[in-house]
Amino acid sequence: MKALVVDDSRVMRRILKGILQPLGFEVEEADDGEKALETIRSGGGVDVVLADWNMPVMSGLELVHALKSDPIHSNVPILMVTSESSLDQIDEAFCAGINEYIMKPFDAEAIKTKLQMIGVLA
Amino acid sequence: MTPEETLGNAELNYIQHFMLERTGIALEKNRACLVELRISNLLRDLHFSRASDLVNAIHMAPLGAVASALIDALTTSETSFFRDRTPFDILGQEIVPDICKRSAFPLRIWSAACASGQEALSIAMTIAETSQQLLLQTKILASDISQQALLQAQCGEYSELEVNRGLPARLLMKYFTRAGRNWRAKPSLMSRIVFRDLNLVHLSLKETFDVVFLRNMLIYLDDAAKRTVLKNVARCMSAGAYLFLGGAETVIGLGDFFETVRFGSNLCYRLKK
């Protein structure tokens, strides 16, 4: 199973990679939404996207909109991993089409249970 | 000061004996390091310089504040919303419809070792997602032996780290409001839950329940205490009531009160008629 971690913070990408690899994921990284789209569209089968909200070039929310309007990749599950934590923002992300939302800070158990909720992990 | 310097064998033996007698909890030798660390933290919090001061205070007032603080320190455990998920699916999809067919309302559910309250709230959300009207006809008792854990449970307030653990974000939006950096459960949930300080080994409870959640508590008890707790809990269950235990727990060999009920590949227990 392949996970794509999209975050402009190298430290955050490393933390998520450290959580995902022991869960059995092969992890690819992108530091903004545009590069994430390129990775997904270049093939190779991404099984889940973990995306930050605020990033340069293309934000996480713009990435969600782009993926959901792409007929080939609209079903790729998306977990938003972000510091944004108002009810309006969570609602906005769900309206855009995310599958789950997790607020920073989080721990490995939280990531694991969220991936279970969206059916990516047993 | 290290735990080894603060806690001698005599004090450790006294604390083990006190916990076993008072709560049924058998402090395992192979977890002594964790026990010592928690006691060491407690000594610091209570401004005791030696473990013997702690032991003396408990000896003088076995039902006092220091004794409660020791129980809090040695019983507080990690938990999460919708822990192990399956019991809540079974509750919502199988058991609640079954009980609604045959029981008079209100529906009574007991979270018997509720810790900081996530299990009781998960039960309330499960019922609410089945029917808001049914939640209004549901009474949930949330009990624990740790007064510290109960205090948090009664507040219904959780950090972002805590709500991240197991709580779907859609349910967070629906049933919680912002409280500064934390999240607070809405009155629609909290008003259905009664919180009570209960010791399951020395239980005095007159009510009966249709469903009991007693998860990840028996594992800390020796066999005699497990039998006592199961017998006490069985007395508080109505005819045909259901019991959920933790994934590593069983009633086998611990009395003859319950039968196994299978739901697909999952199981729970039911009070024998």
Q: Is residue A122 part of a domain?
A: no
**Pick from A105, A114, A117: CB nearest B161:** A105
Last residue of a domain, one of B47, B74, B101: B74
Q: Is residue B45 part of a domain?
A: yes
* pLDDT score at B5: 54
pLDDT value at B216 more than 70: yes
B7: confidence class by pLDDT, cuts 50, 70, 90: confident
Interface contact A91, partner B, CB < 8 A: yes
pLDDT value at B148 more than 90: no
Provide the domain count of chain B: 2
Strand partners, B158: B183
Q: Which residues of A touch B164 (CB under 8 A)?
A: 102-103, 106-107, 110, 114
d(CA B248, CA A95): 39
The single residue listed with the structure tokens 């919680």 is B176
Q: Is residue B81 part of a domain?
A: no
Specify whether B27 is located in the same domain as B136: no
Interface contact A88, partner B, CB < 8 A: no
Q: Is residue B80 part of a domain?
A: no
Query: Which one has a higher pLDDT value, A85 or B210?
Result: B210
Backbone angles phi, psi at A3, to 5 degrees: -115, 140
Beta carbons of B139 and B192 less than 8 angstroms apart = yes
Interface TM-score (ipTM) > 0.90 = no
d(CA B166, CA B136): 24
The string of pLDDT tens digits covering residues B44-89 is: 888 888 888 899 999 888 888 888 888 888 876 678 999 989 999 9
Q: Is residue B43 part of a domain?
A: yes
Domain of A47 in residue numbering reads as 2-116
Specify whether B192 is located in the same domain as B98: yes
Residue A93: CATH number of its domain: 3.40.50.2300
What separation in angstroms does the CA of B42 have from each of B26, B39, B47, B69?
Answer: 19, 5, 8, 8
Task: Report the percentage of chain B scoring pLDDT > 90.
Answer: 53
Q: Is residue A18 part of a domain?
A: yes
Last residue of a domain, one of B49, B74, B99: B74
d(CA B242, CA B111): 12
B6: confidence class by pLDDT, cuts 50, 70, 90: low
**Pick from B80, B166, B178: CB nearest A87:** B178
Q: Is residue A107 part of a domain?
A: yes
Burial of B130: CB neighbours in 10 Å, binned 0-12, 13-18, 19+: middle
Specify whether B97 is located in the same domain as B67: no
Tell me the three-class secondary structure of chain B, residue by residue: CCHHHHCCHHHHHHHHHHHHHHHCECCCHHHHHHHHHHHHHHHHHCCCCCHHHHHHHHHHCCCCHHHHHHHHHHHCCCCCCCCCCHHHHHHHHHHHHHHHHHCCCCEEEEECCCCCCHHHHHHHHHHHHHCHHHHHCEEEEEEECCHHHHHHHHHCEECHHHHHCCCCHHHHHHHEEEECCEEEECHHHHCCEEEEECCCCCCCCCCCEEEEEECCCHHHECHHHHHHHHHHHHHCEEEEEEEEECCCCCCCCCCCCEEEEEECCEEEEEECC
The string of pLDDT tens digits covering residues B184-215 is: 999 999 999 999 999 999 998 989 999 999 99
For B151-181, letters b (16+ CB in 10 Å) and e give ebbebbbbebebbbbbbbbebbeebbeeeee
Specify whether B9 is located in the same domain as B47: yes
d(CA B165, CA B152): 16
Q: Is residue A44 part of a domain?
A: yes
Specify whether B176 is located in the same domain as B128: yes
Specify whether B58 is located in the same domain as B123: no
Q: Which residues of B touch A85 (CB under 8 A)?
A: 160
**Pick from A91, A104, A105: CB nearest B173:** A91
Q: Is residue A60 part of a domain?
A: yes
* pLDDT score at B30: 60
Chain Cα centroid distance, residue B215: 7
Specify whether B160 is located in the same domain as B236: yes
Last residue of a domain, one of B74, B104, B124: B74
pLDDT value at B139 more than 60: yes
Q: Is residue B230 part of a domain?
A: yes
Residues within 8 A of A (CB atoms), B 64-123 only? 80, 82, 85
Q: Is residue B264 part of a domain?
A: yes
Q: Is residue A121 part of a domain?
A: no
Which one, of B27, B32, B233, lies nearest residue B143 by Cα?
A: B233
What separation in angstroms does the CA of B127 have from each of A64, B30, B130, B137?
Answer: 32, 40, 5, 10
Specify whether B110 is located in the same domain as B49: no
Q: Is residue A67 part of a domain?
A: yes
Specify whether B121 is located in the same domain as B183: yes
Specify whether B40 is located in the same domain as B105: no
**Pick from A90, A102, A117: CB nearest B173:** A90
Q: Is residue A48 part of a domain?
A: yes
Residue B53: CATH number of its domain: 1.10.155.10
Provide the domain count of chain A: 1
B31: confidence class by pLDDT, cuts 50, 70, 90: low
pLDDT value at B1 more than 50: no
Domain of B25 in residue numbering reads as 3-74
pTM of the model: 0.86
Specify whether B240 is located in the same domain as B149: yes
Q: Is residue B167 part of a domain?
A: yes
A77: confidence class by pLDDT, cuts 50, 70, 90: very high
Specify whether B123 is located in the same domain as B30: no
Torsion angle in degrees (nearest 10) through CA of A29, A32, A36, A42? -100
Interface contact B164, partner A, CB < 8 A: yes
